[in-house]
């Protein structure tokens, strides 16, 4: 079993850390709001007062924070991981963050004899609780092999996608596909409402064929019930799309569909629904149709 420094215990980080404690690893936790680590400390984890304290002398150091700037602070900040992480250990970041930041971290840690993996996940809080996440990994093969037992305790699809940043880039592909799927879904639903269709009956006709998608199966029924509770936060999706657009711009790649969906989701935030689930895109379309 390994010693693990774990930083970030939000809706994703908490159940993930819990699986590792259950597997017998010795975790040392830091998170901004100590109360969010309560369960984990009760389950046997130790508390650290800073990222650098959590990272000190561990086999693995894992981060699962909210935004790229949080990650930057946790790694490079005054009390950052980089001050104490030991040579020969492995750093794993599960945050969905900037691919270029993943490369910067990999380079900086390598100078200290530390290999790092960017390992963003998909599958949401349910996937985190059930350890059925898809984990998209970027980094050196040696680090991937060493980290595999930990990663496979947390996810069911664990794939090395390439060197540093490749995990983040893969996650961007995931979010870009979802952006399209979501706008198609909510526009189809609002069209159906306007055309006077019974939406449940309409969905029976279309969900089994070429229009079929996860969103239609899982989120459309929530919209029909008026359930906007978050599986995945609008605010986080806006962040992810922003990262993808920034990276695409850097690569001189025009993604008009993603850019439009990003804008529509900013409108969802403007309607006060940033902490709702991504299905709240429906609210923006409804608003544009003068239907609220």
Across 72-84, b (16+ Cβ under 10 Å) vs e yields bebbbbebbbbbb
Query: Closest separation between CB of residue 140 and a second copy, Å?
Result: 16
Which of the ranges 61-69, 73-81, 110-118, 250-258 carries the binding residues for a second copy, by CB under 8 A? 250-258
Phi and psi torsions of 97, nearest 5°: -145, -175
Tokens of 289: 């149709």
Task: Report 87-146 residues binding a second copy (CB under 8 A).
Answer: 99, 122-124, 127, 134, 136
Taking the C-alpha atoms of residue 7 and residue 72, their distance in angstroms, rounded to an integer, is 13
Q: Would you count residue 290 as binding a second copy (CB under 8 A)?
A: yes
Does the annotation count 171 as an active-site position? yes
Q: Which is nearer to a second copy, 50 or 174 (CB)?
A: 174
Among 54, 103, 109, 216, binds a second copy (CB under 8 A): 216
Contacts of 231 (CB under 8 A, 6+ apart): 124, 125, 126, 218, 219, 277, 278, 279
Q: Which is nearer to a second copy, 37 or 190 (CB)?
A: 190
CA 84: distance to chain centroid? 26
Q: Would you count residue 43 as binding a second copy (CB under 8 A)?
A: no
Q: Would you count residue 187 as binding a second copy (CB under 8 A)?
A: yes
Select which of 56, 58, 171, 276 is catalytic.
171
Q: Which is nearer to a second copy, 23 or 259 (CB)?
A: 259
Tokens of 152: 């496979």
Q: Would you count residue 283 as binding a second copy (CB under 8 A)?
A: no
Query: Closest separation between CB of residue 261 and a second copy, Å?
Result: 7
- Please report which helix (H) or strand (E) contains residue 105, including its range: helix 99-110
Among 182, 228, 241, 268, binds a second copy (CB under 8 A): 182
Q: Which is nearer to a second copy, 97 or 161 (CB)?
A: 161
CA angle 191, 197, 203 (to 5 degrees): 80
Taking the C-alpha atoms of residue 162 and residue 139, their distance in angstroms, rounded to an integer, is 6
Taking the C-alpha atoms of residue 263 and residue 241, their distance in angstroms, rounded to an integer, is 10
Q: Which is nearer to a second copy, 17 or 284 (CB)?
A: 284
Q: Would you count residue 191 as binding a second copy (CB under 8 A)?
A: yes
Tokens of 90: 């492995």
With CB under 8 A, what is the number of residues at the site for a second copy?
Answer: 74
Enter the DSSP assignment of 82: G
Q: Would you count residue 151 as binding a second copy (CB under 8 A)?
A: no
Q: Would you count residue 23 as binding a second copy (CB under 8 A)?
A: no
Residues carrying an active site annotation: 171
């Amino acid at each position: 079993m390994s010693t693990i420094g774990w930083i970030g215990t939000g809706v994703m980080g908490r159940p993930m850390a819990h699986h590792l404690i259950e597997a017998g690893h010795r975790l040392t936790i830091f998170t901004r709001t100590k109360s969010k680590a309560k369960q984990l400390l009760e389950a046997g984890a130790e508390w650290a007062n800073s990222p650098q304290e959590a990272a000190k002398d561990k086999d693995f150091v894992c981060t699962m924070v909210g935004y790229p700037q949080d990650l930057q602070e946790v790694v490079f900040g005054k009390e950052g991981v980089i001050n104490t992480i030991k040579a020969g250990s492995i750093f794993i970041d599960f945050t969905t963050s900037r691919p270029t930041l993943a490369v910067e971290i990999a380079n900086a840690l390598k100078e200290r004899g530390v290999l790092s993996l960017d390992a963003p996940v998909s599958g949401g809080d349910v996937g985190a609780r059930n350890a059925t996440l898809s984990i998209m990994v970027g980094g050196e093969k040696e680090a991937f092999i060493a980290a595999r037992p930990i990663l496979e305790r947390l996810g069911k699809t664990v794939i090395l996608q390439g060197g540093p940043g490749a995990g983040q880039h893969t996650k961007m592909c995931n979010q870009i596909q979802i952006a399209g799927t979501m706008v198609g879904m909510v526009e189809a639903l609002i069209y159906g409402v306007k055309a006077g269709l019974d939406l449940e009956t309409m969905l029976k006709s279309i969900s089994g064929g070429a229009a079929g998608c996860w969103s239609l199966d899982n989120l459309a029924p929530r919209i029909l019930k008026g359930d906007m509770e978050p599986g995945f936060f609008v605010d986080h999706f806006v962040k992810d799309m922003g990262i993808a657009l920034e990276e695409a711009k850097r690569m001189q790649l025009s993604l008009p569909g993603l850019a439009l969906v990003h804008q529509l989701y900013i409108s969802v935030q403007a309607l006060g629904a940033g902490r709702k689930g991504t299905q709240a895109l429906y609210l923006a379309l409804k608003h544009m149709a003068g239907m609220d």
